[in-house]
Structure 1
Amino acid sequence: MCRLSAALMPLVLAGCAATAPVPGPAGPVTAGGDDCAVIAAVARDHYNFNTTDNRPPPLWLDGAGSGWAPRCDWDRYGLRLPEIHDPARTPPSSQPLRWVQFKQPRYDGQGALIDSAIMHGPLAGSGIQCRVRSGFAGWTVSDCRLTWVN
C-alpha cells in the first residue's frame, strides 16, 4: 500500500483540482477544448449530418452574450458545415429559415450536457438536450431528450 506524506498531499490535491470542472455561469465548465468534439458528436450521432442524404443547415454556435465562440476545425471531425447562420440577418422570403444551433456544453462527472436546436422552416423545428460521454472512441452521444417542438 502506498502512503503519501502530509507535505505531499496538498500538491497531489492541487494536481487533481487543475483537471476538475470549474463552476461557471451556466454550470460546470472546463477549458479542456472539448467543445468542438462534443458538438461534432451530436451533429454526427443525433442529427446524422454528412450522410449523402442529410446535409447540415447553416450552423449557429450560440454563446448568448457570454463571449463563447469556439473556432473548430470541422474537417477534423468529418463534418462539412456549409455556412454559418447569422441570427441578426433575416433571410429573403425565397430562402427558408433553416439552421442548427448548439449552445456551450456543460461538463460534469458523467461527461457533458449540451442543448441544441434545429429549424427546418419558420414553423418547423425542435430542441434537444443530449448527454455526451467521452471514451475510447472519443465523444459519443448516449441519449438525447426533446425539450421543445415547433
Structure 2
Amino acid sequence: MKIASILAIGWIGFCGIASFALAEQAHTLVVPNDVKWGPAPKVLPAGAQAAVLFGDPTKKGLFALRLKVPAGYAIPPHTHPGDEVVTVISGTTNFGMGKTADRSATKPLPAGSFFALPPGTAHFVYFNEETVLQITTNGPWGIKYINPADDPQKSQ
C-alpha cells in the first residue's frame, strides 16, 4: 500500500511538472498578412528579406524562417552545419548540387517543392523571379561558402 501511494504521489507530481512545462510553450499561428519581413541575415547576399516565424535561428533548437529573394538573386555554393529543410512557398528555386555553380546542372523547383540536405552538403541556388522559401530546421543556422570570397560578411 505504501509503495502504491508513493508511486501515485510521484506520478501526480510528474504530471504536474509536465503540464507546467507544456503550458510554458505557447502555440504559434502565422497567417500570410502577419509575416513581418526585415533584412535577411548578413551571411546572405544583399537584397533578400527574412521573417522568423518560430524560434531563433541563432540559438540551439527548432526554428522556422521565411526568406524572400528578388529576381536575379543567387546564393553561391555553400554548406550548412545542420540539416537544411526547405519548402518553396512561391516562385521557383533553381537548385544545384556541388562546389561549383553550374547553372546548366540545376533543377527548377516550383512552388510547393521541398528539399532536405544533410549537414555539409555543398549546393547553390539562383532565382529568375521573386521567390519565397521556408526553412524549418534546428539552429544555430549558418552558411559556410565553398569559396570564402563569396561570403558577403568578408566584403563589408
* Larger of the two Rg values belongs to structure: 2
Q: Is TM more than 0.5 here?
A: no
Relative contact order (alpha carbons < 8 A, sep ≥ 6): 1 or 2 greater? 2
TM value normalised by structure 1: 0.32
